[in-house]
């Protein structure tokens, strides 16, 4: 029996926001940062990993990291949510600094209640708007748009095959054809 040593994992690079290249100022900033970083690299060493890292760092600084945008209710209200959470965290910090104060306890519980109330109303209004949008698509007989909206809302369908054990429990059938052969 031979045990293979694990290969070292390479660092995963974050995806870049390439849509920012539409702006001319971003393009100019990227060109400037690339020139600066490449001049530093050419002075120090000329190996490929250093070159790759210099280009990536310049692009990351100029373009920024790509933010995933899922269709969800909290993406539409992120600024409002951040302000609510900030007030709640400030009330919590104040409570932790003086835990016995009844006024701080009531202000913290009020901040929690206000945050929950606001978040629930935001979520509810978002769901109502999405339901109206999907209903309008259904009323207009736009089936393609209807199913696209449903897929965007709930995500793609997952087609997983449920694994089945044999009658004695010794064998686990994972393949679709093996499972269908059991029923015959």
> For 26, how many CA atoms within 13 A lie in the half-sphere containing its CB?
14
Q: Note the pLDDT tens digit of each residue in 58-75.
A: 999 998 887 765 567 676
Q: CA-CA distance, 115 to 129, in Å (whole number)? A: 21
Mean pLDDT score, 154-167:
76
Cβ pair 64, 17 in contact under 8 A: yes
Q: Note the pLDDT tens digit of each residue in 132-155.
A: 999 999 999 999 999 989 888 887
Task: Please state the pTM of the whole predicted model.
Answer: 0.50
CB contact set of 34 (below 8 Å; sequence gap of 6+): 55, 58, 59
H runs (alpha helix) in the chain:
24-44, 48-63, 73-76, 78-97, 102-139, 143-154, 176-183
Q: CA-CA distance, 70 to 110, in Å (whole number)? A: 31
Of all residues in the chain, the percent with pLDDT exceeding 70 is: 86
Domains with residue ranges and CATH for the chain: 18-63 (no CATH), 73-141 (1.20.58)
pLDDT band at 43 (very low <50, low <70, confident <90, very high): low
């Amino acid at each position: 029996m031979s045990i293979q040593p694990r290969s070292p994992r390479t660092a995963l690079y974050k995806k870049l926001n390439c849509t920012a290249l539409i702006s001319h100022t971003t393009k100019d900033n990227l060109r400037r940062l690339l020139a600066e970083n490449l001049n530093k690299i050419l002075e120090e060493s000329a190996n490929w990993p250093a070159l790759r890292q210099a280009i990536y760092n310049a692009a990351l600084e100029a373009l920024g990291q790509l933010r995933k945008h899922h269709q969800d209710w909290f993406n539409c209200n992120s600024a409002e949510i951040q302000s609510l959470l900030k007030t709640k965290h400030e009330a919590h910090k104040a409570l932790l600094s003086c835990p016995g104060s009844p006024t701080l306890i009531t202000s913290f519980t009020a901040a929690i209640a206000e945050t929950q109330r606001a978040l629930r109303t935001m979520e509810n209004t978002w769901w109502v708007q999405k339901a109206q949008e999907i209903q309008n698509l259904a009323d207009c007989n736009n089936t393609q748009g209807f199913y696209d909206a449903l897929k965007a809302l709930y995500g793609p369908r997952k087609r997983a095959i449920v694994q089945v054990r044999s009658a004695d429990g010794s064998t686990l059938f994972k393949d679709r054809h093996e499972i269908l052969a059991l029923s015959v």
